[in-house]
Chain A
Amino acid sequence: MEEENIQVVTNSAPPAILATQAKYDRFGRIFYNMALTSLTLDLIALLSMVLGPIMLLFAIVVLFLAVAAMVVFTFGTVLLNAGNPASRLWSLLGSIMDSADGINTFVGFCVEMTKWISILGLVASICSIVFISLNNSKGKTGKLVFLIINIVVLAIVLILHLASGGQLWQN
């Protein structure tokens, strides 16, 4: 009986303006999270650039391996039962981690990733600015200021990266 009553009372549809705002808000927050993550990763890369390639290796490898390990160990067990593909995967991972060349390749991969993270962060920041501007959320001004700073930082990292031809971190 109570549920029926609820259905009768709540027949007022959400105003279109509020439904649209909710969509803008969700997209704005998703892109904001992306921008925030890319800034964090880029700051680690910048810090590593100051401290040297060993720190780059330390900081970024730890970060990426944490994510990669989760994926590999979850599906590694499944693949182990599949025979050949699993052994190929494990030997590939083993060879990367064992050899000096492998580590250099991995550093190269991380440096390349920094470029793509910067590009992704820039796109996410711009999208976030657009959606947050359209939306009427709380703390709008603060978020917009942060995103503009974010764009500046990411652009600097990207310019530094492109200007050095990706060699800046490796020198």
Chain B
Amino acid sequence: MAKLDLEFVGFENALDCIAIDGEIVKLKRTRKKTRICTLEMKNNNTEIVAYKTHYYTSKNWFWWNFLYYIVSFFGLFDIKQTKKCLVQDAKINISSENDANAIISRVNFTDGGKLLEVETQAKVEEISNIQYNDKDARKKHLKMKKIKTATTIAVAVLTVLLIVFL
């Protein structure tokens, strides 16, 4: 099996995770602040997925977000979510019959621009390679924010009324 040396540049806290051949791999840090790994290519082909998204992608996005809100005591312990609903989505196939190496760099954000730049002598097939602000998700985010605020106010009023009347 052919070996593939991968070097990821600019991935410090940039993406949630990188999956190689469907598995999340542990990348070694180097002194140059890049991340490296070596792997054996199955059928001389390797699929690399770099993906970061917001929490509004799933089918049941409302219920999941409401669950996070309730579990975190009405958002008190929840993580801070930025207003930008950024999606970073790259799926790349690298194929080579011989040992190869590839330098995968993260490109600075431009709405609708490329996410990854690949430098390699092997054959590269881009299935997707994009980063953008999701406008639909932003609408969902604002809607969710209003629902959370209304729920918090309702619960607070109910609590105060219970204290007063009981």
Contacts and interface: CB of A to CB of B under 8 A. Distances in A.
A33 B130 contact: no
B13 interface: yes
Interface stretch (B2-10, B97-105, B139-147, B156-164): B156-164
A10 B132 CA distance: 10
A18 B49 CA distance: 9
B57 to A, nearest CB: 6
Contacts of B55: 22, 26
Contacts of A3: 135
B150 interface: no
Contact of B79 (A10, A30, A79, A88): A30
Interface string B78-106: 11000000010101000000000000000
Interface residues of A, number: 37
Contact of A17 (B23, B64, B132, B135): B23
A81 B74 CA distance: 27
Interface residue SS majority, chain B? mixed
B44 interface: no
A30 B54 CA distance: 16
Contacts of A19: 57-58
A23 B17 CA distance: 13
Contacts of A25: 16
Interface string A138-163: 10000000000000000000000000
Interface string A1-25: 0110110011110110111011101
B68 A26 contact: yes
B22 A17 contact: yes
Interface residue SS majority, chain A? helix
Interface in B2-60: 13, 16-17, 19, 22-24, 26, 49, 51, 53, 55, 57-58
A94 interface: no
Contacts of B71: 27, 30
B24 A17 contact: yes
B128 A11 contact: yes
Contacts of A6: 112, 130, 132
B108 interface: no
B164 A30 contact: no
B130 A15 contact: no
A136 B24 contact: yes
Contacts of B64: 23
B127 interface: yes
Interface of B: 13, 16-17, 19, 22-24, 26, 49, 51, 53, 55, 57-58, 64, 68, 71-73, 77-79, 87, 89, 91, 112, 127-130, 132, 135, 156-157, 159-161, 163-165
Given A12-B128, A85-B161, 19 more contacts: A6-B112, A9-B129, A12-B91, A12-B127, A14-B53, A14-B57, A14-B89, A15-B19, A15-B51, A21-B24, A23-B64, A26-B68, A27-B71, A29-B79, A30-B78, A33-B77, A75-B157, A88-B164, A89-B164
